[in-house]
């Protein structure tokens, strides 16, 4: 039953990448400050190689474009098997999923995968749910513009 619900939710979220930034409910400025918790392991580096946030940390995946992206798909990053499986099963980083995940990665994967032995490689937990929401908003603000918007601005 749980996998069925996840599959339905994932199917409904396929439009999330286009709307990820506009639907982030957090405070971008507060998220930028809260992202300080994440820079030990993560960086936000665009496709041109410019570092937009963080340092050159490589413990965690690059978070550029994470808002609305399928989980576990950054090429060249070695995800844990359970994160890869969640992505293969359709997990997309919507605000709701991201906020729940960063508060307790292992517990979140156990619920999503319906597997009490699932484990996340991310050991850090964002304790404050509002910080997690704000971090998502900040990351969404750094995301590349959807293709439709890019086409409009280049005309």
Is residue 9 in some structural domain? yes
pTM: 0.79
pLDDT tens digits for range 107-151: 999 999 999 999 999 999 999 999 999 999 999 999 887 654 444
8 A C-beta contact, residue 133 and residue 141: no
Q: Tell me whether residue 155 is in a domain.
A: no
pLDDT of 80 higher than 60 = yes
Q: What is the CATH number of the domain that holds 66?
A: 1.10.760.10
Tokens 């499986």 correspond to 85
> Is 149 within the bounds of a domain?
no
CA 58 from chain center: how many Å?
Answer: 16
Decide if 61 is inside a domain: yes
Domain of 28 in residue numbering reads as: 2-144
Domain-embedded: residue 78: yes
Q: Annotate 110-140 with b (16+ C-beta within 10 A) or e (fewer).
A: bebbeeeebebbbeeebeeeebbbbbbbbbb
Instruction: Tell which wins on pLDDT, 110 or 56.
Output: 110
């Amino acid at each position: 039953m749980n996998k069925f619900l996840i599959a339905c939710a994932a199917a409904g979220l396929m439009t999330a990448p286009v709307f990820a930034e506009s639907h982030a409910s957090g405070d971008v400025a507060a998220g930028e400050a809260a992202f300080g918790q994440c820079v030990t392991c993560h960086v936000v580096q665009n496709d041109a190689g410019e570092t937009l946030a963080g340092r050159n940390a490589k413990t965690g995946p690059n978070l550029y474009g994470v808002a609305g992206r399928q989980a576990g798909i950054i090429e060249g990053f070695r995800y844990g098997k359970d994160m890869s499986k969640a992505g293969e099963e359709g997990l997309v980083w919507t605000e709701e999923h991201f906020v729940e995940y960063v508060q307790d990665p292992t517990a979140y994967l156990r619920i999503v995968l319906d597997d009490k032995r699932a484990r996340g490689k991310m050991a850090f937990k964002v304790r404050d749910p509002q910080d997690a929401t704000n971090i998502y908003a900040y990351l969404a603000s750094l995301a590349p513009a959807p293709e439709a918007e890019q086409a409009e601005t280049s005309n």
